Amino acid sequence: MEDIEAREFSKKILTIQEEERHRISRDLHDEVGQFSVSLGSALNIIEKEISRRNFDAALRLIQDAKNILTETTKKIRTLFIDLRPAELGMLGLPSVLRELFAHYTKTYPLNIKFKENIGRIHIKDEVAITLYRVIQEAFNNIVKHARAKNVKIDLLLKQGEINLSAEDDGVGFDAEAFFKEANVNKLGLRGMRERVDLLNGRFLVQSKVRNGTKIIVTFPIIEES
Ligand SMILES: Nc1ncnc2c1ncn2[C@@H]1O[C@H](COP(=O)(O)OP(=O)(O)OP(=O)(O)O)[C@@H](O)[C@H]1O
Ligand SMILES: [Mg+2]
């Protein structure tokens, strides 16, 4: 019985990993690939304009090309952050999260408020990794969809439970409708929910159009040392 459960568990983990690879390759193709194509064609036009001595037009195009490059660099940095295994064991979850938030405030016009009472309390590795991944995907979604100005992250230990909430003041969406429809190209929220379910946590998304989005995750068992 236990064997079957363990096999199911590793099968689910493998599925989550495959889905993540699928999303990373899709993002590389759709966003970074797209940017390099536009950059290439901008350079071709600049070359033509210069050979015709249309320097003003060329200068304008160079500015466009620089903007394209800035966007590409942002996207690549964010993809790296997604890929890098966080040094959770060494630094503890709050420090690693602060680094992640520093990346986001540097790269995007976001104001992030972070409240935590974990300090150096040790959280079980799988739980810490899942919390980190949930926050990471919450931010992916915030910069991709929310058009938010403010994000509030609370990570609070209370009566043996750990509560995470990530709230933005962006455009929101119909969360109920989203979970009813099947969409193989939108795996972020489902992936979060699956990871949390696997560790017997609770996962909730509260969102309404024009009313921001809030993700709440709770884990019951905390290992302290
Ligand atoms: N913070 C948010 N603000 C506004 N809309 C959101 C937010 N988070 C999610 N959404 C909406 O919910 C949908 C599902 O999100 P999900 O993360 O599952 O997929 P995705 O971001 O579109 O694709 P993927 O995560 O696979 O790259 C999004 O397409 C978007 O419409
Ligand atoms: Mg997403």
Token pair 């759709």: residue: 30
pLDDT value for 19: 82
Q: Phi and psi at residue 136, in whole multiples of 5°?
A: -60, -45
Verify whether ligand 1 is closer than 6 Å to residue 142 (CB atom).
yes
pLDDT value for 222: 57
pLDDT value for 49: 96
pLDDT value for 1: 53
Verify whether ligand 1 is closer than 6 Å to residue 188 (CB atom).
yes
Q: Phi and psi at residue 16, in whole multiples of 5°?
A: -60, -45
Please state the pTM of the whole predicted model. 0.82
Protein residues with C-beta less than 5 angstroms from the ion ligand 2: 141, 188
The answer regarding whether domain 89-219 maps to CATH 3.30.565.10 reads yes
Nearest CA, atom 19, ligand 1: 186
Ligand 2 center–CA 1 separation, angstroms = 35
Q: How far is CA 70 from CA 76, 77, 123, in A?
A: 10, 11, 37
pLDDT value for 85: 64
Verify whether ligand 1 is closer than 6 Å to residue 103 (CB atom).
no
Verify whether ligand 1 is closer than 6 Å to residue 169 (CB atom).
no
In the chain, which stretches have pLDDT less than 70? 1-2, 84-86, 221-225
Tell me which amino acid residue 204 is.
L
Counting from 1 in the atom list of ligand 1, the atom nearest the Cα of 190 is 18
Q: How far apart are the first and last CA of the chain?
A: 31
Q: In what order do the strands lie in the sheet with 213-219?
A: 111-116, 150-158, 161-168, 213-219, 202-207
CA dihedral 200, 201, 202, 206 (to 10 degrees): -140
